């Protein structure tokens, strides 16, 4: 026995010696201890906090811990299922739900694996009462400060790679830079509620609790009494009037809490070399505004409004509106609730300006299921409690410090962000019975890439179809961004087994039926920041489905064909309802990496002003001209409908080009294995990660000239796009193409042959989709005779009802590094019209 032990010891030493010096990698979940194949992990169920008795009364703790994170190596490898994945213990900031069930899966290594924040589950009409605690130990991360403290540097996070200077070519400056990463708040994405005070307020900043003896001084116990008092009063105030914006002022919070907060903030302000926080709060309180800074704890309290009228618009009411958050104006007579909260899959995430990208990347996201008749109707068909057993699938790109703070000139940066995880796992496996139907509730919480859903594939990477080419799985989309589809769209061919984009922030519900053929199938996607990325992207597995031998029976094996009851307030917005128009411009440039709205970086000032209870139509413009980025537009509080999309880069047809091409940033492109001779002038080459380039002339099968400077690429894949839009009349446009005059902006819009979202036509139309995130088509630089150039922006038009809740919220790009760095502005919804009238 002793001899065996000695041999084992020596073998262990040899094994250790054989491992080359490298990072502190550790075995990943699913790695074989004996060097065998990796085993895909099971899809875990995310613990839930569920409302009872009409309220979601719970505690969410923001803490930090070392988790086992995955990294592709090398980091700049394109996303792929075949990349080498390594794991390392990493400090991350994460949400935990006290008492959330089921318990977290058992840790199988030295460090826990990632898990989204607890799924919040409530019902229309419920009160949301969340005790939010920030117990991060900020010293486990690099120093990251709140108020642009300049004594020790720029006020931004800093790195020895030079950040914040030369960030993407320019320079980031406070407050539009990465900073204050352990300070947090929660945005309840998709909720239609009070945007102020203790509602969906993203302007507040809750610092980590100060610590004594290594322990936070602000705890659940220390705020229990004042928060309990507060929640009880909140129930009374909002219970009496769902449209109340209570609490209005700092004095509406319990004095035990506000006094302690003042003490803590003043104590924090004694820290050397920082800008003080309490004077900011004090000035805001004096003005009657809601204060910005808090220490360790915050009570979120708001109601999920339930629309109870059977018609839309609702009959008028004489109730007085008492909701304005401040200001001298008398509130106008209150209208009844104009729109309810849509029941569906919503979500929540960190939204403190300057740290959304890193915090969301760390994993500070979670699903928020709001139940209603939509769920009841599914349960009526599939059985009681069915919807609660359906998989909630939280996609994220989990990682640590953003690319801009590391490496030089793009080296060793992560291409397209970290790999997609689902419920904290890479490529997990879900089980389904043969023929079983499930409702997949998917949210892309990534702060960067869109997930372009490609559909079901076999393990061999082929589309999962039978011998006749019919898909083995059937799925149809039943909701978008937490808003159910209308009966017209429910189960329609256009939304069945379709490929679609889940941009960062988007959600989709899919009603899915498994095939009768057992086996393991992959639900696959591509990374997309812009449609031009797609041709060069690999298929990656989001998750797999293991179809077992057992067979589903009864309704569990039937796709429900009748749409859930459609709430009246979701009927399409009619053109006649529109009372105002706006144009909002997102732009990247002139230096790449400078992101703005209306040519201005975020500064806290109001960028758009809307009158409460009016309907507006906005033209949302993208003046990004390369590399192409379809910035995902997001607005808080109210969803919108899209009525027009103009994508000047749209393709009439697209196909992968043969061979590869090389260009050094000049007009000349050389090919290897190409057949350029077949290309027509005006054809567009789409180059992954680079954008679109128009062919000016063709010299040979391996040489052509572009209309402007080309990309800098070597042996790159590319696709050949026959463009939808052409900007020269000679040669004549192909059938289906549209000519737009580059010198006449009035022609820069979709032509009649391009399908558009269903127009909202009277008397009523209910087949347009509701969104809260929509990618704005990128712009294009076109060149024509005599080398004239013109930049033509992309755009879409939205209509939204700015109803029910006045106050301040934001629009921003949901590529969160763009938001942190300036691509956000404030929307003010004012409760009263101008006092002037000429009637």
Partner 1 sequence: MPDWSIKIVQSSSGDGAEFIPDLKGKTAGDPLECMVDDLVTWNNTTEEEHQPWPADNSYTALPNDQVLPRGGPNYLSDIIPAGGSSRPSYDVAQPASAPATWTVYYICALHPYVESERGTIIGNTY
Contact between 150 and partner 1 (CB under 8 A)?
no
Among 146, 158, 572, 820, binds partner 1 (CB under 8 A): 158
User: Pairing between strand 297-303 and 127-134?
Assistant: antiparallel
Between 158 and 481, CB nearer to partner 1: 158
Contact region for partner 1 (CB under 8 A) — 135-143, 375-383, 475-483, 783-791? 135-143
Instruction: Tell me which stretch binds partner 1 (CB under 8 A): 44-52, 159-167, 450-458, 633-641.
Output: 159-167
What ranges in 288-396 are assigned the alpha helix state H? 356-362, 373-382
CB of 36 to partner 1, least distance (A): 24
Nearer to partner 1 among residue 114 and residue 758 (C-beta): 114
> Among residues 23 and 33, whose Cβ is nearest to partner 1?
23
**By rule CB under 8 A, what string of x and - marks binding of each residue 369-408 to partner 1?**
------------------------------xxx-x-xxxx
Interacting residues with partner 1 between 195 and 214 (CB under 8 A): 211
Residue-wise DSSP of 58-93:
EEEEEEEEEEEEEEEESTTSPS-TTSEEEEEEEEEE
Nearest distance from C-beta of residue 403 to partner 1, angstroms: 8
Assess contact for 161 and 408: CB atoms under 8 A.
yes
Does 270 bind partner 1 (CB under 8 A)? Our answer is no
Query: Could you report how far apart the first and last alpha carbons of the chain are, in Å?
Result: 102
Count of beta carbons in the 10 Å neighbourhood of residue 305 = 22
| Strands 794-802, 640-646: pairing kind | antiparallel
Minimum gap (Å) between residue 597 Cβ and partner 1 = 29
Between 163 and 495, name the residue whose CB sits nearer to partner 1: 163
CA–CA dist 816, 821 (Å, integer): 8
Note whether 500 and 477 are within 8 A (CB).
yes
C-beta of 139 vs 520, nearer to partner 1: 139
152 in contact with partner 1 (CB under 8 A) = yes
- Of positions 45, 80, 161, 173, contacts partner 1 by CB under 8 A: 161
What SS3 class is residue 654? strand
Of 146 and 157, nearer to partner 1 (C-beta) is: 157
For 360, the token pair is 């969301």
Identify residues 298-327 at the interface with partner 1 (CB under 8 A): none
Rounded distance, CA 332 to CA 356, Å?
36
Q: What are phi and psi of 4, to 5 degrees?
A: -60, -40
Q: How far is the CB of 85 from partner 1 (least distance, A)?
A: 13
Question: Which lies closer to partner 1 via its Cβ, residue 165 or residue 459?
Answer: 165
Please, which residue, 65 or 229, has the CB nearer to partner 1?
Answer: 65
- Shortest Cβ 396–partner 1 spacing (Å): 16
Residues 565-594 binding partner 1 (CB under 8 A) are: none
Contact 80, 536 (CB under 8 A): no
CB-nearer residue toward partner 1: 211 or 335: 211
CB of 664 to partner 1, least distance (A): 25
Residue among 407 and 518 whose Cβ is closer to partner 1 = 407
Q: Which of 6, 139 has the CB closer to partner 1?
A: 139
Nearest one of 296, 395, 370 to 61, comparing CA atoms: 296
Q: Pick the closest to residue 432 from 384, 490, 390 (CA basis).
A: 390
Q: State in angstroms the smallest separation of the CB of 397 from partner 1.
A: 13
Determine if the peptide bond prior to 627 is cis (ω within 30°): yes
Q: Which stretch binds partner 1 (CB under 8 A): 156-164, 198-206, 463-471, 509-517?
A: 156-164
| Choice from 51, 59, 83, 90 touching partner 1 (CB under 8 A) | 90
Q: Which is nearer to partner 1, 159 or 703 (CB)?
A: 159
Stretch that binds partner 1, among 85-93, 123-131, 364-372, 687-695 (CB under 8 A): 85-93
| Options 27, 31, 63, 88; binder of partner 1; rule CB under 8 A | 88
Binder to partner 1 among 3, 4, 24, 462 (CB under 8 A)? Answer: 24
Print the SS3 string covering 395-431: EECCCCCCHHHCCCCCCCCCCCCCCCEECCECCCEEE
Using the Cα atoms of residue 814, residue 820, residue 824 and residue 825 in order, give the sign of their dihedral.
Answer: positive
Q: How far is the CB of 421 from partner 1 (least distance, A)?
A: 16
Q: DSSP string covering 94-149, please? A: EEEETT-BSPPPPP-SSSPPP-PPPEEEEETT-EEEEEEEE---GGGS----SS--
160 near partner 1 (CB under 8 A): yes
> Is 162 among the residues that bind partner 1 (CB under 8 A)?
yes
3-class DSSP state of 571: coil
Closest to partner 1 by CB, 20 or 494: 20
User: Rg of the Cα trace of the chain?
Assistant: 27
Task: Specify whether the CB–CB gap between 507 and 426 falls below 8 A.
Answer: no
Per-residue HEC secondary structure of 771-812 comes to ECEEECCCCEEEEEHHHEEEEECEEEEEEEEECCCCEEEEEE
Binding-residue total with partner 1 (CB under 8 A): 45
Q: Smallest gap, in angstroms, from Cβ of residue 606 to partner 1?
A: 33
d(CA 440, CA 367): 13
With CA atoms as reference, report the closest residue to 479 among 506, 449, 451.
506
Per-residue contact track with partner 1, 99 to 118, x per CB under 8 A?
-----------xx-------
- Judged by CB under 8 A, which of 10, 32, 39, 142 binds partner 1? 142
For the bound state, the minimum distance from the C-beta of residue 426 to partner 1, rounded and expressed in Å, comes to 16
Structure token digits, residue 685: 């080459």
- Residue 78 as a binder of partner 1 (CB under 8 A): the answer is no
Report, in Å, the least distance between residue 69 CB and partner 1: 7
Parallel, antiparallel, or unpaired: how do β-strands 48-50 and 119-123 relate?
parallel
Tokens 């796009």 identify what position?
721
Q: Could you tell me which stretch among 31-39, 87-95, 330-338, 508-516 binds partner 1 (CB under 8 A)?
A: 87-95
Rounded Cα distance, 58 and 366, in Å: 14
Number of neighbouring beta carbons within 10 Å of residue 499:
12
Could you tell me the smallest distance in angstroms from the CB atom of residue 12 to partner 1?
A: 15
Q: How far is the CB of 527 from partner 1 (least distance, A)?
A: 17
Nearer to partner 1, 72 or 438 (CB): 72
Site string for partner 1, 408-447 (x = CB under 8 A): x--xxxx---------------------------------
Residues 667-726 that bind partner 1 (CB under 8 A): none
Closest approach of Cβ 273 to partner 1, in Å?
A: 8
Q: Nearer to partner 1 by C-beta: 410 or 665? A: 410
**Is there a contact between 26 and 111 (Cβ–Cβ < 8 Å)?**
yes
Give the 3-state secondary structure of 271-308.
CCCCCCCHHHHHHHHHHCCCCCEEECEEEEEEECCCCC
Beta carbon nearer to partner 1, 31 or 379? 31
Shortest distance in whole angstroms from residue 454 CB to partner 1: 27
Displacement of CA 699 from its chain's centroid (Å)? 44
Candidate residues 17, 23, 33, 311; the one interacting with partner 1 per rule CB under 8 A: 23
> Does 20 sit behind a cis peptide bond, omega within 30 degrees of 0 on the bond before it?
no
The closest of 216, 207, 213, 195 to 261, measured between CA atoms, is 207
| Subset of residues 48 to 77 that bind partner 1, contact rule: CB under 8 A | 66, 69, 71, 73-75
Residue of 530, 739, 757 lying closest to 632 (CA atoms) = 530
List contacts with partner 1 (CB under 8 A): 21-24, 66, 69, 71, 73-75, 88-91, 110-111, 138-143, 152-153, 157-163, 211, 272, 399-401, 403, 405-408, 411-414
């Amino acid at each position: 026995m002793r001899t065996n032990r000695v041999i084992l010891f020596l073998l262990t030493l040899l094994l250790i010696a054989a491992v080359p010096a490298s990072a502190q990698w550790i075995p990943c979940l699913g790695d074989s201890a004996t060097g065998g194949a990796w085993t895909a992990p099971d899809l875990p169920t995310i613990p839930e906090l569920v409302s009872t008795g009409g309220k979601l009364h719970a505690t969410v703790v923001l803490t930090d811990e070392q988790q086992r994170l995955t990294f592709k190596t090398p980091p700049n490898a394109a996303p792929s299922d075949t990349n080498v994945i390594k794991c390392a213990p990493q400090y991350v900031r994460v949400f935990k739900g006290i008492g959330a069930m089921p318990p977290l899966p058992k840790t199988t290594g030295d460090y826990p694996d990632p898990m989204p924040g607890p799924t919040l589950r409530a019902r229309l009409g419920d009160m949301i009462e969340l005790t939010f605690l920030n117990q991060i130990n900020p010293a486990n991360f690099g120093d990251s400060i709140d108020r642009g403290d300049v004594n020790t540097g720029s006020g931004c996070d800093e790195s020895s790679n030079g950040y914040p200077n030369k960030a993407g070519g320019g320079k980031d400056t406070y407050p539009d830079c990465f900073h204050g990463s352990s300070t947090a708040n929660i945005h309840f994405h998709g909720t239609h509620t009070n945007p102020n005070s203790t509602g969906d307020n993203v302007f507040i900043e809750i610092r980590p609790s100060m610590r004594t003896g290594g322990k936070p001084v602000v705890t659940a116990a220390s705020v229990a009494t004042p928060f309990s008092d507060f929640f009880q009063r909140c129930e009374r105030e909002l219970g009496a009037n769902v449209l109340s914006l209570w609490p209005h002022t700092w004095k509406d919070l319990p004095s035990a809490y506000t006094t302690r907060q003042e003490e803590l903030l003043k104590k924090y302000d004694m820290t050397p070399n920082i800008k003080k926080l309490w004077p900011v709060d004090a000035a805001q309180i004096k003005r009657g505004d809601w204060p910005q800074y808090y220490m360790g704890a915050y009570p979120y309290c708001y109601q999920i409004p339930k629309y109870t009228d059977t018609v839309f618009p609702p009959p008028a009411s004489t109730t007085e509106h008492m909701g304005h958050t401040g200001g001298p104006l008398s509130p106008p007579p209150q209208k009844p609730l104009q729109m309810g909260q849509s029941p569906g899959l919503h979500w929540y995430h960190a939204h403190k300006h300057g740290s959304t990208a890193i915090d969301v990347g760390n994993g500070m996201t979670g699903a928020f299921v709001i139940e209603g008749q939509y769920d009841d109707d599914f349960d009526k068909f599939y059985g009681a409690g069915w919807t609660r057993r359906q998989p909630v699938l939280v996609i994220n790109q989990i990682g640590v410090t953003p690319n801009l703070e590391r490496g030089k000139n793009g080296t060793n940066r992560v291409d397209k962000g970290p790999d997609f995880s689902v419920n904290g796992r890479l490529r997990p496996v879900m089980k389904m019975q043969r023929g079983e139907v499930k409702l997949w509730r998917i949210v892309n919480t990534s702060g960067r890439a869109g997930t372009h859903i490609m559909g079901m594939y076999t393990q061999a990477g082929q589309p999962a179809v039978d011998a006749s080419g019919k898909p083995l799985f059937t799925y149809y989309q039943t909701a978008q961004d937490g808003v159910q589809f209308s009966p017209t769209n429910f189960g329609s061919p256009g939304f069945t087994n379709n490929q679609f984009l889940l941009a960062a922030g988007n959600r989709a519900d899919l009603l899915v039926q498994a095939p009768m053929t057992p086996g393991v199938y992959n639900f696959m996607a591509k990374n997309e920041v812009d449609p031009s990325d797609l041709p060069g992207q690999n298929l990656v597995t989001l998750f797999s489905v293991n179809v077992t031998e057992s067979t589903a029976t009864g309704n569990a094996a039937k796709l429900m064909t009748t749409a859930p009851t459609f709430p009246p307030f979701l009927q399409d917005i009619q053109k006649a309802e529109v009372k105002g128009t706006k144009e909002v411009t997102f732009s990247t440039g002139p230096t790449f990496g400078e992101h703005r709205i209306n040519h201005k970086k975020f500064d806290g000032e109001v960028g758009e002003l809307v009158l409460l209870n009016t309907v507006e139509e906005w033209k949302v413009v993208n003046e990004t001209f390369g590399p192409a980025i379809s910035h995902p537009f997001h607005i808080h509080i109210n969803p919108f409908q899209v009525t027009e999309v103009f994508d000047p880069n749209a393709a009439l047809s697209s196909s992968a080009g043969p061979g590869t091409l090389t260009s050094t940033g000049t007009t000349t492109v050389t090919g290897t294995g190409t057949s350029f001779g077949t290309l027509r002038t005006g054809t567009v080459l789409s180059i992954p990660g680079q954008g679109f380039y128009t062919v000016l002339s063709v010299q040979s099968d391996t040489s052509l000239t572009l209309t402007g400077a080309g990309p800098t690429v070597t042996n790159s894949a590319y696709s050949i796009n026959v463009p939808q839009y052409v900007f020269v009349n000679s040669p004549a446009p192909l059938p289906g193409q549209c000519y737009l005059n580059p010198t006449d902006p009035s022609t820069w819009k979709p032509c009649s042959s391009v399908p558009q979202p269903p127009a909202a036509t009277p008397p009523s139309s209910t087949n347009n989709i509701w969104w809260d995130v929509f990618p704005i088509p990128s712009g294009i630089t076109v060149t024509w005779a005599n080398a004239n150039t013109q930049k033509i922006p992309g755009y879409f038009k939205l209509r939204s009802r700015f109803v029910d809740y006045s106050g301040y919220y934001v629009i921003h790009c949901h590529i969160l590094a763009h938001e942190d760095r300036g691509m956000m502005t404030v929307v003010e919804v004012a409760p009263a019209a101008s006092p002037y009238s000429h009637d």
